[in-house]
A and B are shown apart, each in its own frame.
Chain A
Amino acid sequence: MRKRLLGLAAVAMAALMSVSHAEDKKVTIGVSIPAADHGWTAGIVFHAERVAKLLMAEHPGLNVIVKTSPDAATQANAVQDLAVQGIDALVILPSDPDPLVNAIKEVKDKGAFVTLVDRAPSSNDNSVRDLYVAGNNPALGAVAGQYIKEKSPDAQVVVIRGLPIPIDQQRQDGFDQAIAGSNVKVLEKQFGNWNRDDAFKVMQDYLTKYPKIDVVWCQDDDMAVGVLQAIEQAKRTDIQYVVAGAGSKDMIKKVMDGDKLIPVDVLYPPAMIGTALQLTAANFYDQVPVRGSFILDATLVTKDNAKDFYFPESPF
């Protein structure tokens, strides 16, 4: 009897819960992101899908549609397709922000909540988006510069940059400002195109050109792979360490394991797409104000906090 009562109670509970679930607010969030064409965007896709699953489990009334597009033109179409399906919010990481402004505005004018991630158009105000979530490019350079300045005040540094585009310049400016007035000396800067093979070549040539290099700042974890290989091949022992950035699982693992050449990593995490999704969902379910700009710190990943940023399942 008692068992049966308990059973009934359980059934009643389940019924009640399903009722409350049915009453859970119906919200559809469209997510438009670039296709996974290199490591970082692969991370974006991974984290968008991961957090979408988490959120949908938490809010049964929530539907998150994730769409990837290889270029700006296709992404504009994808945004339109999402709008046709009827979305309450759009979370977008534009592959190229300026050409997409009109497509985004159209969605916003229909009353959808718009969250813009990482890449801002030239007029980044509340006529385009409600919420802006981004990493901090100048800080990525500044944190690296600060670390080098403190750890090795008289270091001779070689720099491998990405591609000649604005975010690369912002990172470089941040770095230059951080080491300004110190004894840290930049021997040379060259572009490695955020590509492993190109970074390998540039590093090989640096090693030929300079008999003594203390520190390498290569901005990006992908390029660090090539840099480490070049150093190993040349059997050079003068290089104390390499500072990269982004937060790929391989480099975070090296920091966790206490690799001498990779003591730290500077965060520019693709998981920020998850931050944007969470905040957007909070706008609908938690009645908390989220409109505005949310700029993530370029956190310095050290041996102590590395496990917080380690995603062994991620492709990046």
Chain B
Amino acid sequence: MTDLAANKPSARISWRNIDLAAVAPFVALALLLVLGAFANPNFISIDNLLNVLTRSAFIAIIAVGATFVISSGGLDLSVGSMVAFVASLTIMFLNSGAFAGPGAMLAAAVVVAILIGAACGLANGLITTLGRIEPFIATLGTMGIYRGLTTWLSQGGAITLRSPDIQSLYRPAYFGSVLGVPVPIIVIVATAALGAFVLYRTRYGRHVLAVGSNEDVARYSGIPVSRVRTLAYVIQGLCVAVTCLLYIPRLGSTSATTGLMWELQAITAVVIGGTALRGGVGRIWGTVCGAFILEIVGNIMLLSNFVSEYLIGAIQGAIIIVAMLVQRSLARR
């Protein structure tokens, strides 16, 4: 062994430099792509892949925020309800006609959505830090609040964007594309790049990981633990707002069932991506990959002919576990 290593020192070193745990989700994704190509030749077509990546935008962007919350040692169960709440309020604002032109209206709506999203995130953050309530319970509470408020606003029905002018102007935000790449995919990459920069290259990002890996040590080192945690929830709120801005143009309406169970999908994406649920480790690009995996699994199930419609849930669960096992076995080396 030592001889071999001595003979090829350069190869050995570069192999060591690759963090296998970080690569693992991408290996799982590659395996799924191969599986999909066998299931149905249409799977590998550009149109289908672009569809699937576009669809995964909602979960992927939310999950980038969730990576911050989870790696800081928190948890946010309210994101699905928050999507419904923020999107509903934004649509109601668009319907209010507060500004004259559709363009001005839309620009104002972007600001409104981001402010509401940040406020919802701030509420979650303050309840967990100032209120000293376990994040699981605190966000379970706000999950009920945001969902309930949405149901109340919509009277259980749907809240629909009324103005056709705004609708036609807004539609390209989900359905449009730049140089053949759908807008939502560009937004995923931009959000993830920004998230990765903040988490890996800024002081705040290092504080997030420090707080997540050991709260006490972080506190003794002079890190403002509560502020770091609260900000992580605000980042999560901002990500939810970005998701809403992509979600509204797709169907032009929200209902009481919008974003149902999305919090679990986001958490699953984060974990598949290699972020530890106990905090201290955050992998933004892995998270995005995890969101792709979730969406692709569903897509393969539907395109393949050999799975009964009653069994889809079971197979999806199994594939996620296998993907995790592949990841773990690579990480252990």
Q: Do A and B assemble together?
A: yes
For A202, give its contact among B51, B157, B160, B302 (CB under 8 Å): B302
Check A226 for interface membership: any CB of B closer than 8 A.
Answer: yes
Check B329 for interface membership: any CB of A closer than 8 A.
Answer: no
Q: Which residues of A contact B40 (CB under 8 A)?
A: 209
Check B95 for interface membership: any CB of A closer than 8 A.
Answer: no
For B55, give its contact among A45, A164, A201 (CB under 8 Å): A201
Check A296 for interface membership: any CB of B closer than 8 A.
Answer: no
Complex: A200 Cα to B158 Cα, angstroms = 16
Complex: A250 Cα to B253 Cα, angstroms = 12
Question: B250, A42: Cβ atoms under 8 Å?
Answer: no
For A164, give its contact among B47, B51, B310 (CB under 8 Å): B310
Q: Which residues of A contact B48 (CB under 8 A)?
A: 208
Complex: A225 Cα to B253 Cα, angstroms = 9
- B residues 28-47 near A (Cβ < 8 Å) are 40, 42-43, 45, 47
Complex: A209 Cα to B36 Cα, angstroms = 13
Complex: A39 Cα to B157 Cα, angstroms = 4
Check B186 for interface membership: any CB of A closer than 8 A.
Answer: no
Question: A37, B51: Cβ atoms under 8 Å?
Answer: no
Question: B51, A315: Cβ atoms under 8 Å?
Answer: no
- B residues 173-209 near A (Cβ < 8 Å) are 175
Complex: A196 Cα to B157 Cα, angstroms = 12
Question: A190, B299: Cβ atoms under 8 Å?
Answer: no
For B155, give its contact among A191, A202, A209, A315 (CB under 8 Å): A315
Tally of contact residues, B, Cβ under 8 A: 31
Interface of A is mostly: helix
Question: B255, A205: Cβ atoms under 8 Å?
Answer: no
Question: B251, A45: Cβ atoms under 8 Å?
Answer: no
Check B312 for interface membership: any CB of A closer than 8 A.
Answer: yes
Interface residues on chain A, size class: 35 or more
Check B154 for interface membership: any CB of A closer than 8 A.
Answer: yes
Question: A200, B251: Cβ atoms under 8 Å?
Answer: yes
Question: B309, A190: Cβ atoms under 8 Å?
Answer: yes
Complex: A276 Cα to B175 Cα, angstroms = 45
Question: A201, B298: Cβ atoms under 8 Å?
Answer: yes
Question: B309, A315: Cβ atoms under 8 Å?
Answer: no
Check B258 for interface membership: any CB of A closer than 8 A.
Answer: yes
Question: A201-B298, A209-B42 are known contacts. Are A36 and B251 too (CB-CB below 8 A)?
Answer: no
Complex: A314 Cα to B158 Cα, angstroms = 10
Check B151 for interface membership: any CB of A closer than 8 A.
Answer: yes
For B256, give its contact among A38, A191, A197, A200 (CB under 8 Å): A38
Complex: A66 Cα to B251 Cα, angstroms = 33
Question: A229-B250, A315-B157 are known contacts. Are A37 and B256 too (CB-CB below 8 A)?
Answer: yes
Check A43 for interface membership: any CB of B closer than 8 A.
Answer: yes
Question: B251, A197: Cβ atoms under 8 Å?
Answer: yes
Question: Interface code B294-306, partner A: CB below 8 Å = 1, 0 otherwise?
Answer: 0000110011000
Check A287 for interface membership: any CB of B closer than 8 A.
Answer: no
Check A316 for interface membership: any CB of B closer than 8 A.
Answer: yes
A39, A191, A202, A206, most chain B CB atoms within 10 A: A39
Question: A39, B156: Cβ atoms under 8 Å?
Answer: yes
Complex: A191 Cα to B257 Cα, angstroms = 16
Question: B302, A316: Cβ atoms under 8 Å?
Answer: no
Complex: A222 Cα to B251 Cα, angstroms = 11
Check B325 for interface membership: any CB of A closer than 8 A.
Answer: no
Question: A208-B42, A222-B255 are known contacts. Are A41 and B312 too (CB-CB below 8 A)?
Answer: no
CB closest residue in chain A, given B262? A197
Question: Interface code A39-51, partner B: CB below 8 Å = 1, 0 otherwise?
Answer: 1011101100000
Told that A208-B51, A208-B303, A250-B158 touch, could you supply 14 new A-B pairs with CB distance under 8 A? A35-B151, A36-B151, A37-B151, A42-B157, A161-B309, A190-B302, A196-B251, A197-B251, A205-B302, A208-B47, A209-B40, A225-B251, A226-B251, A229-B251
